[in-house]
Structure 1
Amino acid sequence: MNTSPLEDASLLRLMQLVSPTLPIGAYSYSQGLEAAVEAGWVSNEQTAESWIDSILAYGLVGADLPVLARLHGAWSSDNIGAVEYWNDFLYALRETAELRSEDMHLGRALAKTLVGLDMEVAAFWQNRKPITFAGVFALAAVCWGINVRQALLGYAWTWAENQVAAAIKLVPLGQSMGQRLLTSLIGVIPERIDEALSLPDESLGRSLPGYSLVSMAHEHQYSRMFRS
């Protein structure tokens, strides 16, 4: 079945947006995984899969993904008040200094990249405080004609890929193990997206105390490869 030029363009733009070559520095963050490995919570392929899927299920599904959907809708309707509300809501869910710093860095880096690609509407977000990666990601998705479900799939994929890449270095795992992890995550991500899209506003939030603890521990970890 043939696709339209607009569908082709939006798919290619999504691939550009989630590409590891995008110059925002996402590869330098482990989101607490490094401290989880140090603590012995993650030590092999099975525990890495459990760790990553648990954060996806109890973190991204309740927070990043449904908020990203709301941000996409707000940008689509040019409702800047709603954009700012959901951006600030998501930032408030970042429990540790490292997670807040990561969101600010990635959001600003993506905004700067988009301005360099002639998306002038992103310029304001380079200096706004607070800023979230999801807020700018949603802006890029709307400007590039990426629909909300595809945007959520791309966001979840790039997060999962970064987590697996970090696990390969930290546990360590082989490349084949990393590909098995990604294959397993591909099998569950669509279901997680469905769940995230079904949540009402009053159900949004996170429930990951262990994740917060290792993120705080990472701030003081003696030797580390990653910034979070």
Structure 2
Amino acid sequence: MLTDLRLYQLISPSLPVGAFTYSQGLEWAIEKGWVKDEQSLALWLTSQMQDSLATLEIPILIQLHHLLGVQSYEKAQYWCDFIVASRETKELRIEERQRGAAFAKLLPQLGIDLSEHTFPLVNQTQVAAFALAAEKWEIPLVKLCSAYTWSWLENAVMAGVKLIPLGQTAGQKLLIDLTKFVPEVIEKSMIWPCDRIGSFTPAQVIASCQHETQYTRLFRS
């Protein structure tokens, strides 16, 4: 039971790591009319779940969870470098590093000490932070992957609710609909080959590039 509670804390919106300060290009996509209602938001997020979370973030989370468990820090560093390099815009790279840095400050205060080996990993990417916290708190891998996906999805839907805008109830209905895909995403990521890890979300990348110079922004760039 305690491991479940630790997991809920790890993905809580109240965790001070900046989870709700980025839109990952969604803000520009909404301004340009690419995303304009519940249906188009669902398509936008489903694409990212299938072609980024299932093929990049979650497979790397799985790798890091194993590698940190066996203290294989050199190989873990490879995957941390890989995920940062896979963030295809400056905005996305900054988000990855800033949230990692926030975790690097937070985890020691939550009882997870960072060594000379683990600090550079966590400081570089939030994915390493999730993996390390799960390893220290003995959170099962499948639960970790599901929770990571839920956390990303909740942040993205709430950004859409604020920007389109949608009602809060519409946002909750959308979460109900999209979480049906989470088991499929996790199953896909568990068997995804290491030599195929990567993402293919060109629309999101274009939107993120344009968001960097968007005149009026609610979300960080």
TM-score (structure 2 length as normaliser): 0.96
1:189-213 Cα deviation digits (max 9, x unpaired): 1111000111111111111111110
Instruction: Return the alpha-carbon distance in structure 2 between the equivalents of residues 149 and 200 of structure 1.
Output: 17
Provide the residue aligned with 1:18 in structure 2: 11
Q: Residues 123 and 184 from structure 1, CA distance in 2 versus in 1: closer, same or farther, beyond 3 angstroms?
A: farther
| Deviation string, structure 1 residues 45-98 (Cα, Å, up to 9, x no partner) | 110111111111111111001010000001111111121111111111000000
- Pick from 100, 106, 111: which aligns with 1:113? 106
Assess, with a 3 A threshold, how the Cα gap between structure 1 residues 129 and 70 changes in structure 2: closer, same or farther: closer
Correspondences of 1:3-82 after superposition (within 5 Å)? 8-82=1-75
Q: Is the 8 A contact 2:103 2:122 kept in 1?
A: no
CA contact (8 A) 2:101 2:122 kept: no
Q: Aligned partners of 1:187 and 1:90: how far apart in 2?
A: 26
Aligned length: 221
One of 171, 181, 201 as aligned partner of 2:174:
181
Quote the Cα distance in structure 1 between the aligned partners of 2:115 and 2:149: 22
1:191 aligns with 2:184: yes
SS of the residue aligned with 1:202?
A: helix
2:157 and 2:171 in contact (8 A); partners too: yes
For structure 2, the residue ranges without an aligned partner over 5 or more in a row are: none
Q: Mark the CA change 1:124 to 1:78 in structure 2 (over 3 Å): closer, same or farther.
A: closer
Q: Aligned Cα RMSD in Å?
A: 1.5
- Report the Cα distance in structure 1 between the residues aligned to 2:90 and 2:30, rounded to whole angstroms: 20
Contact 2:121 2:128 in 1 (8 A): no
Structure 2 residue aligned with 1:5: none
- In structure 2, distance between residues paired with 1:10 and 1:213: 39
C-alpha offsets along residues 131-165 of structure 1, whole Å, 9 cap, x if unaligned? 11101111111111111111111110000000011
The percentage of aligned residue pairs carrying the same residue is 41
Deviations 1:86-138 (A, max 9, x none): 11111110000000000001111012110111211267665669711101111
Q: TM-score, normalised by structure 1?
A: 0.93
Q: Is the 8 A contact 2:21 2:219 kept in 1?
A: yes
